[in-house]
Amino acid sequence: MSVDHKLSMSIDIENLTKTYSGFAALDDVSLSIKSGEFLSLLGSSGSGKTTLLMALAGFVRPDAGSIRFGGREMIFEPPHKRDVGMMFQSYALFPHMNVFQNVAYPLKLRGYKRAEIRQRVEQALATVELDHLIERGITEMSGGQRQRIALARAIVFEPKILLMDEPLSALDKRLRETMQLELRRLHERLGMTVVYVTHDQREALTMSDRIAVMSKGKIRQVDTPLNLYERPANRFIAEFVGESSCLPVSVEGGQIRFQGRALRTASQISGLQQPSLVVRPEKLQFVTTDAADFNLLQGRVSDVIFQGESQLVQVDLGEGMAVAIRRPTRSSSDNRLPVRGEAVTLGLHMQDTLVVGEQA
Ligand code: ADP
Ligand code: MG
């Protein structure tokens, strides 16, 4: 038995602004989230993620703008009338209550009858596979179990929208990765609209249907994980999402030039401000100096780092520029790695030759 509903709602945010004594924590934010979508707000600390989530929940009153759930204006609705479940980094479980009482809390608040509370709590705990611990005390639970209980509490009243603010950041790496996949599966099963806050780009890439990248109270790009990674709108996004080196290039006669050579690129280069070549470590390969079909970069190996499943080779390109190449560790026979100080030629396919500007 588990909570099994396919109820969700769209979220439309328009021109949302929130200032704190003149400082814009949210600066004219507009974003549409589809019903049933898993959308992550990704940004470094202080970029406005929590403020936006709290505005959705109804705990922060924006100065201006509109928030609609399923087309209905929410700006003046109090939190308990918004039909949203919430989960935070700190579990915010009540330590003096047992597991049952914690999960039952939102139902009591909403005036559910005793028998229905019992049934729904059991269902919610079954969903997170903790129904066998229903009578236990909170203090007996591990970090991972507490986080699951917090999740059960967030979904127990079957909200159409689930808001999560860095819910996994207190867990160790292994447990965090397990929980990421569990949350994704839970979302697939329950189908509610999820807005998920994280500062961890890898977590956002792993979990989301789409990601909205925030900085300084603004949304900078909204796209699928793949597009964000392969087609960043500008240098800021390219550096924030995934590993990359951004190398300054010049434009001459409609051509991008680097190290005295023209680069073939599929990127739109006209009108770019301060263009940079974005190089991801896995897109590069070692080639010979006469290799066709590649853009060539020339440099000298500065470091070779063994990382278990892969090896990272750092290459100095001169003039203060450097790139890294990642190579999977395969059988020991094809692992002839260059040594420090060796001159190397690196190849980059035209379709991987990404050129971006400073700003969108
Ligand atoms: P994030 O969650 O991305 O780390 P926040 O939304 O918490 O960012 O904060 C965005 C900015 O707004 C920060 O500079 C923060 O200091 C400021 N801020 C947030 N809440 C308040 C508040 N209640 N009073 C004053 N400043 C605030
Ligand atoms: Mg925050």
Q: Tell me, yes or no, whether 216 and 148 share the same domain.
A: yes
Question: Residue 85 maps to which CATH number?
Answer: 3.40.50.300
Which atom of ligand 1 is nearest the CA belonging to 53? 6
80 and 130 part of one domain: yes
pLDDT above 50: residue 4: no
| pLDDT, mean over the chain | 92
Which ligand 1 atom is nearest residue 197's CA? 2
Same domain for 310 and 286: yes
CATH number at residue 340: 2.40.50.100
Same-domain status, 42 and 156: yes
Q: Which domain holds residue 297?
A: 236-356
171: pLDDT strictly greater than 90: no
- Same domain for 87 and 10: yes
Tens of pLDDT, residue by residue over 267-320, are 888 888 899 999 999 999 999 988 888 999 999 999 999 888 888 999 999 999
In this structure, the residue with its CA closest to atom 25 of ligand 1 is 20
Asked if 285 and 218 sit in the same domain, the reply is no
Verify that 241 and 205 share a domain, yes or no.
no
pLDDT digits (tens, 9 = 90+) for 11-57: 999 999 999 999 999 999 999 999 999 999 999 999 999 999 999 99
The token duo for 240 is: 């924030």
Instruction: Give the number of whichever ligand sits closest to the CA of residue 55.
Output: 1
Q: Are residues 253 and 277 in the same domain?
A: yes
Residues with CB under 6 A from ligand 1: 20, 25, 43, 45-51
**Confidence at residue 1, expressed as pLDDT on a 0 to 100 scale:** 39
